Structure 1
Amino acid sequence: MSLIRKHKLNYGWRLFLPLVGLLWLVIIAVAIYQYKNESKLREEIVNDEIRLLNSRIIAAYEQELDLMPVIQFAAKYYENSALNGIRISVYDNHGNLLYCTGTPIPSSVNGKTPPELIAANETGHGTSLRRSDVDPTQAYYYFGVRTSADGKIYVHTAMPYTSALSRELSVDKGMWLLILAMAIGTTIFAYFTTRILGRNVIILHDFATKAAAGEPLPRIDNFPHNELGDISRQIYKLYTEKDAAINRSEREHSIAIKATEDKIHMTRELSNNINHELKTPVGVIRGYLDTIATHQEMVPEMKQKFIENARNAMDRLCNLLNDLSSITRLEEGANSISNEDVDLNDLLFNISTELESINMTNNIHFSYDIPDGCIVIGNYNLLYGMMMNLIRNADFHSRGENCGIRLLSQNSREYTFAFADDGVGVGEQHLSHLFDRFYRIDKGRSRKVGGTGLGLPIVKNTVTVFGGTIFARNRQPHGLEFVFTLMKARQEASSEA
């Protein structure tokens, strides 16, 4: 079976061979039909010549002319034609031979009347093609008989089947050459036509085979520029679009699954972190309260210190719950946050004024360099909280003395700001994790200074909610810098455009 398939003719040949076979059958049938018609026509011409000769001899008889000169003239006349050698015999109604040229034609053969004579007796004229019984060396004769109107004589003519007559009756070779040329031309035309069609089908078959096997598809410009090629290109386009849609759907499905898995993982990790972060202040508070409750004899100074420590742990717990509420609001209720035009210079002035009345943990100094009229799209309270988180982060962890924000650049759509401190910076391996929830470089120190581990994630989510971006980098020679963007207010953006 595999050997048969290996040597199986392709579509082009399977289309070409039956088509050419059918065309040749039609050509051969037409040729045979034409040959018979041509042969019959030429025979009719010879018979017409014989009948015409007989009619002229009868006409001479009816005009009472001497028939012998007429017969001799006719024989002489046909010497240079295909009827050279024609025999003419004139009989009376009693079967007596009156005149003849050449060998007389008998009025009966073996006692039987010739068929042409029988027809002449019935209709006045008759012709037939038969062998001569008088001269068997000759092949076939064309016989003709014509009877006079008064029935007293009849003219009997015979034309031997000579080579000259054979040529006259033969079909012209030019017709055969024309038929052969037509057959060859038709074959060539059919070959190239079926070759084009076969090539289209072969290319389409190759495309379907490779598509089914998942192999690289043939180039679309391989398809010819005709109707079948157009259909092939449409099929190719539909397949590639469907394949692209399937691949896109698979990628989106894979991304959705990955996002769902990441979300589940993040939720589980967040739950574990929240559980851990909540346990710490709760455990501290409970520990101090249990100690106070079980040691009634505790000196007042020590009891006051324990109460103060429990209050600090309670403050940290409240800050953690507030930060959790803020980040949940930013992540899940971003669409419900109302946007407004915020004058960043006024906001930073208010923060700077408030910080003067607040004792920062490490007494870090805050400054800002923002031009007047720097109006951004945002929410005043959220932007206020974002800036406070950046300042607290610098105060808690930078170990520096100064921090501040400045305008780096702007375009028609947004401002780019940089918040930096002059502290020790962080290791490069920590930069990509600074915005992860509960990520701490020095866990013990972070808890000691009261950080919740959610300040920088809140900062990133706030910037993202308002259409901006943020990243962290170390400064030279030291310190940490946060570069972020905020969208310009509409009227300001339109005035600059």
Structure 2
Amino acid sequence: MGMFSRSRLTYHRKLFLGLVIYSWLLVGCFALFQYHREKQFKAEEVNSRLQVLNEFIIAHLDSTGKVELPPCDIVGLRISVIDGNGKVIFDNSSDSLPKASHIDREEVIKAMQTGEGYTLRRHSESTGGTYFYSAKRGKGYLVRTAVPYSMTLDRLLTTDYAFLWFIALVTAGMCVIGFFVTRRVGKHIERLSAFAEKAERGERIVDIEPFPRDELGNISNHIVRLYAKLQQAIAERDREHRQAICEQQEKMRIKRQLTNNINHELKTPVASMQLCLETLIDHKELPVEKREDFINRCYAANKRLQSLLIDVSTLTRIEDGGESFAREALSVSDIVAEICDEYEELARNKGFEIRNKVTPVTINGNMSLLFSIFRNLIDNALAYSEGSLIEIRVLEETDHHVTLALADNGKGVAKEHLPRIFERFYRVDKGRSRLLGGTGLGLSIVKNAVHWHGGTIRAINREQGGLLFVFTLNKQP
């Protein structure tokens, strides 16, 4: 099998061999046709000369009743007169007339039917020689002349082979040209075949040399480009598939982490409530002041637990795709103004001033998520910045998005904590955060709500002190 595959003809050789066979077969048929045609033409030329003699003999025979030999230079000319029944009544080549009927001779049959006829080469039974016969019909008889089929006549009837040699040379030249043409086509086919084999194995094909600019080359280039696009589409599909798997795995990891963090965060308020309730149940004799203190602690723990559950629910809804959040045309400046009014008294009590410098701007977003963004950022500044000023303003507005900034003049965040402040349950000061009732999910909710609006958010420590949040919101989804 291996020997057969090595000895197998290439497409170029098969094509060239087929072209050579076809060319020589065509030339052979043409040469054979031309050979017979030229030979027939020369035979008819000889017949014409003999027919002139036949006419002369017939004319003399009709006028004198005698057979007279015409003046000619033909050596061995034989003259016969045959009656309508095929009987030879005159023959100048022998002393006795042939007794056999000539009615079935080819030249006699043709002469009786058409007026004249000839036979190229036939053996004579009476003389034993070979002759070229030419017959012509007279009035009730035939005159037949014949010349011996000698070397002279043979050379006269021989076809001129010069044109055959010319055709053979032209054909050989065409075969040489055909070799280079078929080799070019063959290389195209071989390259395309090698490409098809690689494509069948699914190999990645890059930087392939372009095919020549002809019909076959254009088809080959189209096939290569289609396969390259198919490879690109498959690679893109595989990449998206891997990315989807990674995202799914990351979501599962985050959910497991979130579950673990929630369990951890729930322990503190639940344990606090349980301790307070157990104390109240086991010590009914406690003074009223103590009982109220335990009840207030239990209420605070419950509020913290409620806030935690609300934040977890909000965060889960956003991360699950946010389909439950509807979009509508909203005025960001109106939302900020409402939140500033809401926090005015609380901020004053904590020694803060909130400056609203947001200019009128409208986006297509979700009201509850926008409220969550600004409330959590203000809560974060009031609780942890230790400053006295919160300022909200628009940095940039385009046809597609708006960029806002919320800054405080507090102490900022240490550099090592800054990249992680948007993580779930991450606290810069864990003890103080829990003491203030924070859930550790506020900034994570802010980040996911901004992402839901097609934007990004980052936190920067200001040079003059304090923390600056810069975030964008797309005007359209």
Tell me the TM-score normalized by structure 2.
0.78
1:17 alignment partner in structure 2: 17
Alignment partner of 1:368 is 2:355: yes
Give matches, 1:238-249, under 5 Å.
Answer: 238-249=226-237
Gaps of 5+ in 1: 76-84, 98-104, 491-497
Q: What is the SS of the residue equivalent to 1:439?
A: coil
Residue 209 of structure 1 and its aligned partner are, at CA, apart by: 1.2
**1:341 counterpart = 2:339:** no
Match of 1:402 in 2: 389
Q: Deviations over 1:304-337 (max 9, x none)?
A: 5444433332232222123234334544555443
- Aligned equivalents of 2:359, 2:103: Cα separation in 1: 137
- AA paired with 2:50? I
Structure 2 counterpart of 1:179, from 167, 177, 180: 167
1:288 aligns with 2:281: no
- Answer with 112-121 or 420-429: which moved more: 112-121
Unaligned runs of 5+ in 2: 82-87
Partner of 1:30: 30
Tell whether the 8 Å contact from 1:366 to 1:391 is kept in structure 2 after alignment. Answer: no
| Match runs of 1:438-457 below 5 Å | 438-457=425-444
| Cα displacement string for residues 316-363 of structure 1 (whole angstroms, at most 9, x for unaligned residues) | 22221232343345445554435343352x5444444444432789x3
Return the letter of the residue paired with 1:74: C
* Cα offsets for 1:65-87 (capped at 9, x unmatched): 9988x74x423xxxxxxxxx523
- Counterpart residue number, 1:418: 405
**Is the Cα–Cα contact under 8 Å of residues 396 and 449 in structure 1 kept in the other structure?**
yes
Structure 1 residues 115 and 250, CA gap change in structure 2 (3 angstroms): farther
Establish whether residue 393 from structure 1 lines up as the match of residue 376 from structure 2: no
CA drift of 1:397 comes to 2.9
Q: What letter is aligned with 2:385?
A: S
* C-alpha spacing 1:429/1:106, structure 2 compared with 1 (3 Å): farther
Closer, same or farther: CA 327–376 of 1 in aligned 2, 3 Å: same
Map of 1:81 onto structure 2: none
Q: For residues 425 and 462 of structure 1, what CA distance do their matches in structure 2 show?
A: 23
Query: Contact 2:340/2:356 (CA < 8 Å) preserved in 1?
Result: no
- Listed as ranges, the matches of 1:198-217 within 5 Å are 198-213=186-201, 214-216=203-205
Q: CA deviation at 1:132?
A: 10
Structure 1 position 267, deviation (Å): 1.9
* Correspondence 1:271 to 2:269: no
TM superposition shift of 1:249: 3.2
1:432-472: CA deviations, max 9, x gaps?
43222212233333222321011112222333334433222
Residue of structure 1 in register with 2:214 after alignment: 225
* Aligned-pair CA distance for 1:159: 4.5
Number of the residue aligned with 2:85: none
Cα distance in 1 for residues equivalent to 2:62 and 2:54: 12
List aligned pairs for 1:180-195, cutoff 5 A: 180-181=168-169, 183-184=171-172, 187=175, 191=179, 194-195=182-183
1:6 is the counterpart of 2:23: no
* Deviation for aligned residue 1:116: 8.4
Assess if the C-alpha contact under 8 Å between 1:130 and 1:142 holds in 2. yes
Contact 2:121 2:149 in 1 (8 A): no
Say if 2:469 is the partner of 1:471: no
How far apart, in 2, do the equivalents of 1:146 and 1:334 lie? 112
Q: Distance in 1 between matches of 2:383 and 2:250?
A: 30
Q: Which residue of 2 aligns with 1:101?
A: none
TM-score (norm 1): 0.75
The code of the aligned residue for 1:398 comes to: S
Alignment identity in percent? Answer: 33
Q: How much has 1:96 moved relative to structure 2?
A: 9.6
1:38 CA displacement: 2.3
**How many pairs align?**
463
| Corresponding position of 1:161 | 150
One-letter identity of the residue aligned with 1:24: W
